Amino acid sequence: MATCLPFRVVPFKPSSSTRAAKITCSSVAAQSRLAKQDLLSLIADQDRGLKTQADPARRAAIIDAIDALADLGKGTVTTGTDLSATWRLLWTTEKEQLFIIQNASVFGTRAGDVLQVIDVGRKVLNNVITFPPDGVFFVRSTIQVASQQRVNFRFTSAVLRGKSWEFPLPPFGKGWFETVYLDDEIRVVKDIREDYLVVDRAPYAWTE
């Protein structure tokens, strides 16, 4: 695979060798766009992963699409400042998140946006599930960049919050995740438990 990043244009002086590199990079970018479109098409009607739980064939196809993007993203750096954002869940295999999304009605509410809020510079991550209009459950974590694509995390606290009340919960665990693909729109993740996550950049910044 070429060492250039998909969707990044690097100025260069034309020569026989750089023309070949340009073709290779363009090919990688085109393949990435097609693989990304394929993945987004596969997850579009999956209700953030709820429907996928009962459809092994679709799950396998989605993971194949993720693996294709991961292959194209090998060698790229996904743990820099571009990782800092409010990321909104599109699809996941994480059973805990899907359970809460599916059963929010038990508490007389519904699950809204499910978010990962990452700040690489401050070394923090919040996992957030919103319950409109006023409820939220979030887990605070510290993070440490471990490699070009891997980030280690440690949970530090959790909070269930309503409009006029807050219930703290103890921290529970640590692990790592790898961002195997990252661009200006989406991020694709595999974690220590071999769960998968596809998120897009939310059109807003979530804060506590």
**Residue 152 within a domain:** yes
**Residue 22 within a domain:** yes
> Of 137, 143, 139, 186, which is closest to residue 165 (Cα–Cα)?
137
**Residue 208 within a domain:** no
Domain that holds residue 67: 16-201
**Residue 8 within a domain:** no
What pLDDT, in 10s, does the model give residues 100-126?
999 998 778 899 999 999 999 999 999
In the chain, the number of structural domains is 1
What pLDDT, in 10s, does the model give residues 168-190?
988 779 999 999 999 999 999 99
What is the pTM assigned to this prediction?
A: 0.85
Q: What's the CATH code of the domain at 190? A: 2.40.128.280
**Residue 206 within a domain:** no
> Is residue 167 within a helix (H) or strand (E), and if so which, with residue range?
strand 166-169
Distance CA 93, CA 78 (A): 21
**Residue 65 within a domain:** yes
